[in-house]
Amino acid sequence: MKKALAIALVALVALSGVFAGGAQESAAPAASDNLIVVGYAQVGAESDWRTANTQSFKSTFTEANGYRLIFDDAQQKQENQIKAIRSFIQQDVDYIVVAPVVETGWETVLKEAKDAGIPVILSDRMMDVSDPSLYTCWVGGNFIKEGEDAGKWLIDYLKKQGRSNEKINIVTLQGTIGASAQIGRTEGFGNIVKTQPNWNMLAMQTGEFTQAKGQEVMESFLKSYPDIDVVVAENDNMAFGAIDAIKAAGKTCGPNGDIIIISFDAVAAAFDSMIAGDMNVSVECNPLHGPRVAEIIQKLEKGETVDKIQYVVEEVFDTSMDLPAVKATRLY
């Protein structure tokens, strides 16, 4: 719970508009409240997945649920996240939650949080630190497994199409280089590529997890490589951009088209894209981490121990399924 001094400091910071590098949102606290104060250093707003993740935190960490959330949007910049964490430390929050933009470069600021006695919970993406005691725990998707699931799906799909022995030309639109979701999906899909001698990875380039950049990189892939069989987009928004580029180039994609589209996240718009016949498959990455992090905080409040690494169970969705029925059961 917040101390009186810390409450006064939060109020001062909120009122003076002295915020961290990103766009920080917080209501000025009442001096007598008993809320648990959580600072969330979010990556940005680069994708539908990220929007769903932000919404999950904002709808979980409410005053009605006993929390005050200080939310910072780092606009995909690590330096903004570091500034946000320092601002949370200065405000003496009860917990810091970080979805790190990239894995490396966090030791110094995590040490500052540890010295201040503030637990740091990692959500979604991981940090690569030499001292694991610098953070309390991590919860998120298994990105290597997601990449491997995508590769296994392609083996199975080509088999059903009678194309197992054909030469298959692949391009990959990678996420933000150095982000766990990029590292894991690239590695996982690469593990399966190694087992298929007839698969040929023509090119891999970052599309920064955004639709606009995904479209731009796909346009250049199409100019350089006239015979692409498969696009692996490391998130749905880059896949949407790639689909636009493919159509603009006069080609087709999806189950009845020239190019197979493999994607990740399984957001609502990906279901629409599969139902429309543009995308073949989306490997789920579940963004609803707000309640999971709240459960961790509640355990810590009671002095209970929590598992250091907590993977979320995820599925694979493709056009062989009753997608409208599945979509109707989903929350994002």
Q: Closest CB to ligand AHR among 91 and 123?
A: 123
Angle at which helix 211-224 crosses helix 236-248, to 10 degrees, equals 50
Dihedral sign of CA atoms 226, 231, 235, 241 in order: positive
Q: How far is the CB of 116 from ligand AHR (least distance, A)?
A: 27
Q: Closest CB to ligand AHR among 10 and 267?
A: 267
Q: Closest CB to ligand AHR among 49 and 138?
A: 49
Instruction: Using DSSP bridges, classify how beta strands 168-174 and 230-233 pair: parallel, antiparallel or unpaired.
Output: parallel
Q: Closest CB to ligand AHR among 149 and 265?
A: 265
Q: Closest CB to ligand AHR among 7 and 122?
A: 122
Q: Is 26 left (phi over 0), alpha (psi -120 to 50) or beta?
A: beta
Distances (CA, A) of 217 to 76, 150, 176, 212, 264: 19, 21, 13, 9, 17
Q: How far is the CB of 332 from ligand AHR (least distance, A)?
A: 11
Q: How far is the CB of 190 from ligand AHR (least distance, A)?
A: 17
Q: How far is the CB of 90 from ligand AHR (least distance, A)?
A: 27
C-alpha of 108 from chain center: 24
Q: Closest CB to ligand AHR among 109 and 181?
A: 181
Q: Which residues pair with 170 in a beta bridge?
A: 201, 230
Q: How far is the CB of 240 from ligand AHR (least distance, A)?
A: 11
Q: How far is the CB of 147 from ligand AHR (least distance, A)?
A: 11
Q: How many CB atoms lie within 10 A of CB 51?
A: 14
Give yes or no for a contact between 138 and 126, defined as CB atoms under 8 angstroms apart: yes
Interface contacts to ligand AHR, rule CB under 6 A: 46-47, 49-50, 124-125, 181, 209, 235, 264-265, 285
